[in-house]
Amino acid sequence: MSRIDDELSDELKTLRAEGLFRQLRCIDSPQSPRVNMAGRPFLNFSSNDYLGLANHPLLKEAAIKAIERFGAGAGASRLVSGSLAPHHELEESLAAFKGVEAALCFSTGYTAALGAITALVGKGDILILDKLVHASIVDAARLSGATLRVFTHNDLGSLEKKLQWAVSHAEKSANRKARVLIVTESLFSMDGDLAPLRNLADLKDKYGAWLMLDEAHASGLYGERRRGLAEEFGVANRIEIQMGTLGKALGSAGGYIAGSRPLIELLINRARSFIFSTAPVPSAAAAATAAIGVVRSAEGEHLRQRLWTVVEQVKRGLVDAGYVLPPVRSAIIPLILGNEQNATVAADLLHKRGLFLPAIRFPTVPRGKARLRLTVSATHTAADISELIAALAELKQRS
Ligand SMILES: *Cc1c(COP(=O)(O)O)cnc(C)c1O
């Protein structure tokens, strides 16, 4: 073995000892409530495909047609030669869906965060993040060179202190005044709780800051037109930068930024993850456009209602089994177990019973806050739910 392998093997050993080792599991079927792994069927409670669109016939048909008309690859970056009709159609659909002037699609939500944040703030500017924002936002913040401040999760008092500090410390640079940008999520990905959006919007206005809101887990699920929690709380037109992914409730792949036309034009010119990366494949863009069509239709409303029914049934069963759950309506239901090893053991036990429900550990969540992250879909059946509740009740009795 070479020296690199020796050294890396030691590092892997440490990860194993800490209960932090991760492994890929090959799924040999479409993403849906029931998946096949290594020839065995599993009940899947781990996906972010909340509306069951990843395997929806209309999305598949749109993807296939796009391949037939536009081919498999995009060929280049959008600014070079890869700006295909499916990307433009997707952006028009996104802007209409979100009720904004314009939108820009990226290959992933991760690169949307990276591109947008580094384009909007840099040295001399101040970025204020919620403690629990997604890794894509944390990575973008570090890369941006802006001064970074973190407020206690969903704590308005803590945020206001950071804003007061920011207003007195924002440096004036030669060509423009310093920016203060707050970035948070509307529905938090590992805890399933909601940000106090109205108060956040009031605070950012009071201090003249900008607000970027990541709706990765909320778009398609909340608000009268299913635009997200910004719509549900009536603050969408006060948020400067709306972000999301096409890979969760929208069942496809990609990320987006939505907002004003100047914002989008600036990103086309400055977002490096957009400029220096091959455009999304046409089939992914077309599938996402079809997904927006489904979400906006009567079927989209039906799927959302069905999802909330499943959520209520699962939560009732878990409370009856002795679990303590957060009091919000969310398709993400965290079962906090604390210790990393406990979470891994629980996930393995469920795996033996044919349930796929992963242990989420550091660094995705803080050390000592390991959990089973249970997510449900509109396409889970009553039988699926009963099986889940029975397995989790048994797990609770063992602990
Ligand atoms: C999943 C996720 C992203 C990244 O989106 P991808 O399209 O999966 O890259 C960004 N923010 C949050 C909150 C997420 O949960």
Residue 273 beta carbon below 6 angstroms from any ligand 1 atom? no
Residue 245 beta carbon below 6 angstroms from any ligand 1 atom? yes
Residue 50 beta carbon below 6 angstroms from any ligand 1 atom? no
Round to the nearest angstrom and report the end-to-end CA distance of the chain.
42
Q: How confident is the model at residue 19 (pLDDT cuts 50, 70, 90)?
A: confident
Residue 394 CA to residue 380 CA, distance in Å, equals: 20
Ramachandran quadrant class, 329 (left: phi over 0; alpha: psi -120 to 50; beta: rest): beta
What residues are labeled active site? 189, 217, 248
Atom of ligand 1 nearest to the CA of 245: 7
Distance 2 CA to ligand 1 centre (A): 36
Residue 185 beta carbon below 6 angstroms from any ligand 1 atom? yes
pLDDT at residue 43 tops 90? yes
* Least confident residue range of 1-5, 128-132, 301-305, 331-335: 1-5
DSSP 288-352: HHHHHHHHHSHHHHHHHHHHHHHHHHHHHHHHHTT----SS--SEEEEEEESHHHHHHHHHHHHH
Return the residue whose CA atom lies nearest to atom 5 of ligand 1.
109
Q: How confident is the model at residue 321 (pLDDT cuts 50, 70, 90)?
A: very high
* Least confident residue range of 11-20, 52-61, 125-134, 225-234: 11-20
Using an 8 Å Cβ cutoff, are 178 and 207 in contact? no
In the predicted model, what is the mean pLDDT of the chain?
A: 95
Residue 184 beta carbon below 6 angstroms from any ligand 1 atom? no
pLDDT at residue 171 tops 70? no
362-388 pLDDT per residue, tens: 888 999 999 999 999 999 999 999 999
Residue 258 CA to residue 240 CA, distance in Å, equals: 9
Q: How confident is the model at residue 150 (pLDDT cuts 50, 70, 90)?
A: very high
The secondary structure element, H or E, covering residue 105 is: strand 102-106
Residue 300 beta carbon below 6 angstroms from any ligand 1 atom? no
Give the pLDDT of residue 1.
63
The stretches of 27-122 forming alpha helices (DSSP H) are 57-70, 85-98, 109-120
Return the half-sphere exposure (C-beta side, CA atoms, 13 A cut-off) of residue 128. Answer: 29
Return the residue whose CA atom lies nearest to atom 14 of ligand 1.
216
Chain-centre distance for alpha carbon 111: 12
Return the residue whose CA atom lies nearest to atom 3 of ligand 1.
109
Distance 220 CA to ligand 1 centre (A): 14
Ramachandran quadrant class, 214 (left: phi over 0; alpha: psi -120 to 50; beta: rest): beta
Give the pLDDT of residue 172.
66
Residue 108 beta carbon below 6 angstroms from any ligand 1 atom? yes
Rounded to the nearest 5 degrees, what angle is found at the Cα of 215, between the Cα atoms of 197 and 385?
A: 105
Counting Cβ atoms within 10 Å, is residue 81 exposed (0-12), middle (13-18) or buried (19+)?
A: exposed
Give the pLDDT of residue 327.
85
pLDDT at residue 170 tops 80? no
Return the residue whose CA atom lies nearest to atom 6 of ligand 1.
109
Distance 113 CA to ligand 1 centre (A): 9
> Of 191, 248, 332, which is best to mutate to test ligand 1, by the most ligand atoms within 8 angstroms of its C-beta?
248
Distance 171 CA to ligand 1 centre (A): 31
Atom of ligand 1 nearest to the CA of 246: 7
Ramachandran quadrant class, 210 (left: phi over 0; alpha: psi -120 to 50; beta: rest): beta
Residue 373 beta carbon below 6 angstroms from any ligand 1 atom? no
* Least confident residue range of 18-27, 170-179, 235-244, 325-334: 170-179
Give the pLDDT of residue 173.
63
Residue 42 beta carbon below 6 angstroms from any ligand 1 atom? no
